[in-house]
Chains A and B, each alone.
Chain A
Amino acid sequence: MESFTPYLLGAGMAVLLGLDRTAALQIMVSRPLVAGPLVGFVLGDPLTGLTVGMLLELLWLCRMPVGASIPHDDTQITVSATTLAIALSATIGSGAGLTLGALLIALPLGKIGQHVERAVRTQNERLPAAALARLQLGQLPAVERLHLCGLGNFALGALTTYTVIVLVGRWLILSGAPFFLDLLTTQADWIKLALVLAGVATLLQALNVRRAYGLFFGGFLLTFLLLGVLR
């Protein structure tokens, strides 16, 4: 029997972890590798969260939150994929297939997060003008409250992204599970390798240093040969 509680707990985590992305602290609890196990821990299955986080961590690692650039919302993808995988395990059975299914469905849906965050930042544009008006009235505490309103906007944005991914994702998983669950389970190891390799390739491009490929392949070949010999 599917419970509503994991979705509610997931929503709370989505807001808390979403704030860490830009608006507050930025101590990196919003990184997939941290957010996944944290959500999993709250929902009672940290290892599912760890799997989701591990597969997502490298994909957008070097997309910098610089200036007006808005990176893909990998935090909400992690939170919603972990929540879906754990919440639906009671209905369709847990396993690597469901975890990967939730992740692969949440991945493209995460694009919504970029649009939502752009809307939040646009919405925040009215705050400086409002603050100036309050200043002219001599209301400095009100100016400080306006700044914290921005925090509320970011929280609302995180919640919106999470809700959309979870609602659409849940429907897609439940209607598609009979078709893809077994296939995903049998190919789980290869898909995990592929997702990590996709992340590695994007990192190799983004880490803009001389001899990047030389350093990478040097590390790879030495380790691989060593492991092969020791096998």
Chain B
Amino acid sequence: MMISGTLSASLRRRLFCRSFLLQASWNFEQMQGLGALFVLSPLLRKLYQGEELQQACARHLSYFNTHPFIAPVILSGMAQLEVNGAGKEEIEEFRQLLMAPCAAMGDAFFWGGVRPFAAVVAMFFALHGSLLAPVVLLLIFNLPHLLVRIVGFSKGCELAEGVVDFLARCRLPDLAIRLKQATLILLGILCAGLTHNTLNFAALPWQWGGAIIPLVFTLGWLARHRLSPLLLALLLAALILVLPGLY
């Protein structure tokens, strides 16, 4: 067993780096299960040997599914519990307790909030033909991404089961709603700019831009009624290509 009650810095680094490969063997059966064992295996190798090591690994080779960016919080918490000599039931309970809430929190914040916000801001640069667009997207997305990974991992190591309170204090769902609202306003501004430019190029009066409002409503209505983005895009492109031929 490990003598010290905390994870060493080099072990922390190894576990953290491995967490970027958590989903390498994603599958429908255990989802990130094998990945979780892959992340924790350097620690387990240090803590156990022989039969004990096999049993510890087998315990961790089970269903694991959470948001990949918040997973380091859970995995480092589990690692700290292992180091503290917690029982297998306690570690399992910790993992079961956190997986689903962390998944929901991460999905809402990163996929629903940060990613659309970063993409829409970057679109402003892209529409002006600026090659800064990808840089802007990467920066806006990865600042919170890496921050959550790094802080989450170190808090998990520091607090073990106390990390639950830390996660609750982060208020990620509230932040996600604010980001979504900002994204919607930016999306409106983006559409207005693009419409204005297109009308300018086509030498049409700017008042024609008012037609965009019912068009977006109609497209939104179609999207709500399960018309996929693919069909929506192809339908619009086909209409634009066919309509001039009819007149």
Q: A interface vs B, CB < 8 Å?
A: 22-29, 31, 33-34, 36-38, 46-47, 50, 53-54, 57-68, 72, 104, 107-108, 110-111, 121-122, 124-125, 127-128, 131-132, 135-136, 138, 140, 143-144, 146-151, 154, 180, 183-184, 186-187, 189-209, 212-213, 215-224, 227-228, 231
Contact = CB atoms under 8 A, between A and B. Distances in A.
Given A190-B198, A219-B186, A209 B34 contact: no
Given A121-B26, A223-B193, A60 B229 contact: yes
B147 interface: no
B28 A125 contact: yes
Residue among A124, A151, A183, A201 facing the most chain B CB atoms (10 A cut-off): A201
Contact of B116 (A25, A62, A220, A227): A62
12 contacts: A22-B23, A26-B69, A57-B126, A59-B233, A107-B234, A143-B41, A146-B34, A147-B38, A184-B241, A194-B239, A220-B189, A222-B188
Contacts of B57: 135, 140, 143
Interface residues of B, number: 94
A127 B27 contact: yes
Residue among B120, B134, B189 facing the most chain A CB atoms (10 A cut-off): B134
B26 to A, nearest CB: 6
Nearest to A225: B192
B61 A132 contact: yes
Contact of A64 (B20, B107, B201, B215): B107
B56 to A, nearest CB: 10
B220 A148 contact: no
